[in-house]
Structure 1
Amino acid sequence: MKKNRTDFQSRLGKGRKKHYELQQMETFFQLNDLTATKELLNSIMSYALKRNSWIKEDPSVIYHFHQAMQSFVRAGYFLMLKEKKLFINTQLEDVSPLVLGLFTEKEYQNPLLVFKKAFKEYSIKEFDYFISGMVYFSMGIYDHLPERNMINPYIHLIKMLDAAYLIIERKGKNKAFKIKKDDLM
């Protein structure tokens, strides 16, 4: 009689589809509205920096946000690591500064640069630490503030959310995505 063994290990990296990261980001934006996500991130950040108050959101909403942002950061990291890129380079035609937002012209043209810059400055573990710290400090009253600079990772997260949304939006408009390696440097 043959024993059947159940494999309880994660299969995240095994047999991944070709565009798994894009699918994960699309799913993120299907479940989380961009504006609502940025507002919740802003709210969590502001309560994390206040000493004598805590966020009024339901803890389950905060926990879901925490988990969603961690998976979003990982998807962005793996998207950035791909050698054969699948994004468009759009030509800038008199783009208004309001359209650019936090992006530079190059970042608007190639949103993958936002992820490259963010992960050059911070690792996945540092982003996880930042997100966990924000959630921790926003949910209670503490005598001390976070020991690290929380503004730079916050700005990177906001820019990554915008860049991912821009990538998904452009993917829907144009099915042929290609970027040269030298565009990323």
Structure 2
Amino acid sequence: MKKNKISFETTFWAHHELENPFEVIDAFLGSENLAYYKQTLSEIVFYRSKDEIYNKECPGDVFFNYTAIRSFLRACSSLSYKSKKWKVREVSAEKKSILSQASLTTEEYENPFIVFENAFAEHSLADFEFFLCEIVHLSLRPTIVEFDSDLLTPYIHVIKMLDASQLLLESEVERVEVSEEL
């Protein structure tokens, strides 16, 4: 049975289509830093419950960030399936820091692939894309709109995925040799 390969849809913000989730994350965090994406996402979530429009001086930036974050989520979805095939080499004691751990638990810090597994075990890619679309939509409305979906849990997962992705970029990731026992 042939697997359907998901498109990361990176052409708009990366100017070409990337096919490897590690390349998507590298390009995503290379275009802007982690703090920028976390701040932007937090502001968008904050403005979804205000009667003001987020970034009304340049709403095109919101669309650009939406497309980049959507590609990022698609890459993270792909990584959730690769967690058994890849591992992060142990981080040396000198490099370990509670600050670099950010929102991750100790277990997640040691194996950031757990973050992707947990996020996509609880929510589907469609759920995360709905969350992103909903918060962008609500943050660009000049009025407060009641909504009945949980926007906090996906937000927390996205923040954790951002932190885990940064850790993957800073760490050495290696392919796990799968041995077949007879």
Establish whether TM, by shorter chain, passes 0.5.
yes
Letter in 2 for 1:107: E
- Quote the offset at 1:180 in angstroms: 7.5
Per-residue Cα deviation, 1:61-104 (whole angstroms, up to 9, x for no partner): 00011111111011111122127623314257495543322111
2:78 is matched with 78
Q: Take 1:107 and 1:36, find their aligned partners in 2: how far apart are those partners?
A: 22
Q: Which runs of 5+ in 1 are unaligned?
A: 1-9, 14-18
1:125 is matched with 126
1:4 is matched with none
- The reply to whether residue 38 of structure 1 matches residue 38 of structure 2 is yes
Name the CA shift for 1:115/1:142 in 2 (closer, same or farther; >3 Å): same
Name the CA shift for 1:84/1:144 in 2 (closer, same or farther; >3 Å): closer
Q: Take 1:129 and 1:77, find their aligned partners in 2: how far apart are those partners?
A: 14
Once structures 1 and 2 are overlaid, which stretch shifts more, 98-107 or 150-159?
98-107
The secondary structure found in structure 1 opposite 2:132 is helix
Letter in 2 for 1:56: N
2:54 is matched with 55
Name the CA shift for 1:42/1:89 in 2 (closer, same or farther; >3 Å): same
Asked if the contact 1:92/1:109 (under 8 Å) is kept, the reply is no
Matching of residues 5-154 of structure 1 within 5 Å: 12=7, 20-50=20-50, 52-57=51-56, 58-82=58-82, 85-90=85-90, 93=93, 95-154=96-155
- Quote the offset at 1:40 in angstroms: 0.6
Q: Which runs of 5+ in 2 are unaligned?
A: 9-18
- Quote the offset at 1:30 in angstroms: 1.5
Letter in 2 for 1:177: E
Moved over 3 A (4+): 10-13, 91-99, 178-181
For normalisation by structure 2, the TM-score amounts to 0.78
For normalisation by structure 1, the TM-score amounts to 0.77
- Quote the offset at 1:143 in angstroms: 4.1
Letter in 2 for 1:81: Y
Letter in 2 for 1:148: S
The secondary structure found in structure 1 opposite 2:48 is helix
Q: Take 1:119 and 1:11, find their aligned partners in 2: how far apart are those partners?
A: 15
- Quote the offset at 1:34 in angstroms: 1.1
Structure index of larger Rg: 1
Q: Take 2:156 and 2:6, find their aligned partners in 1: how far apart are those partners?
A: 32
- Quote the offset at 1:149 in angstroms: 1.5
Length, aligned pairs only: 162
Name the CA shift for 1:109/1:92 in 2 (closer, same or farther; >3 Å): farther
The secondary structure found in structure 2 opposite 1:177 is strand
Asked if the contact 1:87/1:167 (under 8 Å) is kept, the reply is no
Query: Which residue of the other structure, out of 173, 177, 180, is the alignment partner of 2:174?
Result: 177
Asked if the contact 2:48/2:144 (under 8 Å) is kept, the reply is no
